[in-house]
Chains A and B, each alone.
Chain A
Amino acid sequence: MDLSKRLFINIIPGNTFLDKLTGKTKVRMFLALIVLLIATWDIRIVVPVLVLGIVGLVSIKPNWRLIAGLMGFVALMNLFNLFLIWIVSPDYGDEIVGGSTLLFQFTARYSLSAETLWLFMVRFVKFISSFLVSLVFIQSITPSEMAAGLYAIKVPYKVATMVSIAFRYIPEISRDFSDIKISMQARGMELDPKKTTLIERLKQNVVILVPLIIVSFDRVSNIANAMDLRGYGRGKTRTYYSEHEETPNDRKMKVFYILVALAAVAVIAGRVFFPAQHEVWAPWI
């Protein structure tokens, strides 16, 4: 899949509901949802977040053809990861969900229980929703709004700048990466993993990497000079041009993200103070 398309980011704010919120609201909403998603393994919480993610995705009117390809890729990758986990520990879910209802027996070692399958399903839905949330976040925020949002949650502004510059240059760098890769292929470099050995591939990685690193770090002094000329880093605090006044929608969303954050706190507190016998809830246990 084309990398530069995959890593598309907005530089100019769009005009949908989510786009028009302030950077502060976007960052806080994202953090609250992600913390909730990390904390919980309960399908009853994950599915509503998944629905929210889908609603958010629909509301920003994305390029659906691109999204479909992306989702397919991510789903496949997660399934493959689950498969690898199953290879390593076939009875992964039994203890965590609590029970061992045998579904399929392949060999003496490799069996699949309903509990493991359930856990894998929860895990899959969880990661898909976390990807959806971050996709909506990336697609609805601009780099400077991200810096403003981080600064509003008391991140030092130099770190906030760092994040926004890194975010801004990811598409650029991945474009360079695929350009270099293509030009190396044009010079006869074999990149097919089936036809090369591991050592060979490591060497090729370095051959691609050296020009990429040089090109990327050549940018540094240009960007730094431009920022210095505009007086960056003079003051102790910073304001952001991209950060506008809170709109009524921001105030509505504030209620929403505070609720999500409270839910996250409740989930974490619940896990710390009242640990359940089995960590992952299943309907039949």
Chain B
Amino acid sequence: MSNEKKSIGKLLLGKWDTKTIVGTAIGAALFAVLMNFGGIRVFTNTNLSSAMIVVAVVAGLFGPLPAALSAGLGNVLADLIGGWGFWFDWSIGNFVMGFFVGLLPLYGARIEDGIFEVKHIIGYVICVVLGNLIGFGVVTPIMTYLFYSHELTITWAQAFTALVSNAIVLIVVGVPVLILLAKRNAKKTNLSAEN
């Protein structure tokens, strides 16, 4: 398939064509809907959220920036229809987390070409944990402090549950979904590229 070397910057940005835009948009819509109706409540405004799987899927199909935008935008839209107020600190946290989850191509996993092996799974798990730690353990509390100041105590409790539950969903459900996606794509490419 694509044998040409891509620079890291290009990998992070992803292919920015119409399909990516629509895919990211649909991902954001799915994220918003699932955040509202597809979760199992753990703590106030924090769910064992199936929305996270959407992030993994968008990450696998389109790359880091689309995954980040899907998660961030999806969270804003979820706030818009949810009625629990607007929490841009969390949207930004989700954005960062989505970016980390989407780093798949950086360590060689290419879902669209069916490449997703054990070392990629390990890379994915590390990225998920890192992304959740940085997104919800660092960025969200900082943003909460800047935007809402005294909500910080609650954010800590929420951030902890969100961190754990998101990581669980992303790993326990996300890995099989990504393997499935990779398998599905691998079947399509039984042709080898000619040089």
Point out the residues of chain A lying under 8 angstroms from B153, CB to CB. Answer: 89, 92
- Contact status of A77 and B83, CB under 8 A, knowing A96-B150, A162-B69, A220-B26: yes
Point out the residues of chain A lying under 8 angstroms from B53, CB to CB. Answer: 206, 209, 213
Please report which residues of chain B, range 1-60, place their CB below 8 angstroms from some CB of chain A when the two chains form the complex: 16-19, 21-26, 28-30, 32-34, 36-38, 40, 43-45, 48, 50, 53-54, 57
Do B69 and A219 touch (CB < 8 A)? no
The interface on chain B, measured as residues whose beta carbon lies within 8 A of the other chain's beta carbons, has a size of 51
- Contact status of A161 and B50, CB under 8 A, knowing A81-B45, A173-B30, A206-B173: no
Question: Once bound together, how far apart are the Cα atoms of A85 and B157, in whole Å?
Answer: 10
A126 an interface residue at 8 Å Cβ cutoff? yes
B138 an interface residue at 8 Å Cβ cutoff? no
Task: Output the least CB separation between B34 and chain A (Å).
Answer: 7
Do A279 and B149 touch (CB < 8 A)? yes
Task: Output the least CB separation between A58 and chain B (Å).
Answer: 18
Please report which residues of chain B, range 74-114, place their CB below 8 angstroms from some CB of chain A when the two chains form the complex: 74, 77, 79-81, 83-86, 88
Do B74 and A166 touch (CB < 8 A)? yes
Name which residue of chain B comes closest to A9, CB basis: B81
Question: Once bound together, how far apart are the Cα atoms of A78 and B80, in whole Å?
Answer: 15
Point out the residues of chain B lying under 8 angstroms from A281, CB to CB. Answer: none
A186 an interface residue at 8 Å Cβ cutoff? no
Point out the residues of chain B lying under 8 angstroms from A70, CB to CB. Answer: 83
A17 an interface residue at 8 Å Cβ cutoff? no
Secondary structure dominating the interface of B = helix
What mask results when residues 209 to 246 of chain A are scored 1 for a CB within 8 Å of chain B, else 0?
A: 11011001101110110011000110000000000000
Point out the residues of chain A lying under 8 angstroms from B19, CB to CB. Answer: 220-221, 224
Point out the residues of chain B lying under 8 angstroms from A279, CB to CB. Answer: 149-150
A153 an interface residue at 8 Å Cβ cutoff? no
- Contact status of A38 and B84, CB under 8 A, knowing A220-B22, A220-B23: no
Name which residue of chain B comes closest to A178, CB basis: B37
Secondary structure dominating the interface of A = helix
Question: Once bound together, how far apart are the Cα atoms of A102 and B70, in whole Å?
Answer: 46
What mask results when residues 124 to 159 of chain A are scored 1 for a CB within 8 Å of chain B, else 0?
A: 001100110011011000000000000000000011
Q: Which residue of A78, A173, A202 contacts B29 across the interface (Cβ within 8 Å)?
A: A173
Known: A78-B83, A166-B77. 8 other contacts (CB 8 A): A3-B37, A92-B153, A126-B85, A127-B83, A159-B69, A163-B28, A165-B25, A232-B18
User: Which 8 pairs between the two chains have the least Cβ-Cβ distance?
Assistant: A74-B83, A165-B25, A131-B83, A166-B28, A84-B44, A127-B85, A224-B19, A166-B29
**A-B pairs with beta carbons under 8 Å apart, 28 shown:** A7-B33, A38-B88, A77-B84, A78-B83, A80-B44, A84-B43, A96-B150, A127-B84, A130-B85, A130-B86, A131-B83, A134-B86, A159-B69, A163-B25, A163-B77, A166-B26, A169-B29, A173-B33, A174-B37, A198-B40, A202-B172, A216-B29, A217-B26, A219-B26, A220-B19, A221-B19, A233-B21, A279-B149
Question: Which B residues are within 8 Å of any A CB, using their own CB?
Answer: 16-19, 21-26, 28-30, 32-34, 36-38, 40, 43-45, 48, 50, 53-54, 57, 61, 69, 73-74, 77, 79-81, 83-86, 88, 147-150, 153-154, 157, 172-173, 177
